[in-house]
Amino acid sequence: MNSKHSHSYDGYDPEDDQDDRPPSKSMLKRASQELQALGQQLLDMPDSRLIEIDMPERLRDALADYKKTRSFEGKRRQLQFIGKVMREVDSEPLREAVAQYQLGHAHNALALHQAERWRAELIADDKDAVTRWVADFPDTDVQQLRTLIRNARKDASLDPEKRNGRAFRELFQFIKRAMESQDDEGGPAGQGDDA
């Protein structure tokens, strides 16, 4: 009997052995680094958000110890320990919590940029800016908006350094509140209505 064909008769497939092999050192190292990176992402979150996340007390203590550690080497070792502790934890809920936080953070940053863009448009000598604003935010107190724009322009004309003065901040806060109020009500006018 030919030994080349003996494996095909008993159902043996050499590919099956690859699944039973223990993970390589590089695979283990990569997995450990991913858990450490996840640990760092958890550490980057504010404590108020960390408290809300369901995690084992041992991991919570390891994260708290990292924040107390002052030396670079101590922090490096503590992060490795966090990665080790996380091997015993289901990391998927932690990944979801981090992703949720980062998504909210990105949304907030985008909203701030949009508010800054609106402020710049409203202060510029663009006659249509107020009309566009009112079209997007119909509940606006137009008289108050025009007063805030006028004050911000006056501050800027008196002193170009005042582009971060009180009138600029007040206009920005007005814009931000209007945008937040509309987000709470379901988005800009005209969105969500398919006619």
- Residue-by-residue DSSP string for 66-79: HHH--SHHHHHHHH
Residues 191 and 114: their CA atoms lie apart, in Å, by 17
Is residue 6 very low, low, confident or very high in pLDDT (cuts 50, 70, 90)? very low
Supply the pLDDT for residue 109: 83
Supply the pLDDT for residue 68: 93
Is residue 126 very low, low, confident or very high in pLDDT (cuts 50, 70, 90)? confident
Q: Is 183 helix (H, G, I), strand (E, B) or coil?
A: helix
Predicted confidence (pLDDT) per residue in 68-102, tens digit: 999 999 999 998 899 889 888 888 888 888 888 88
Domains and CATH numbers, the chain: 20-89 (1.10.60), 107-185 (1.10.60.30)
Confidence (pTM): 0.47
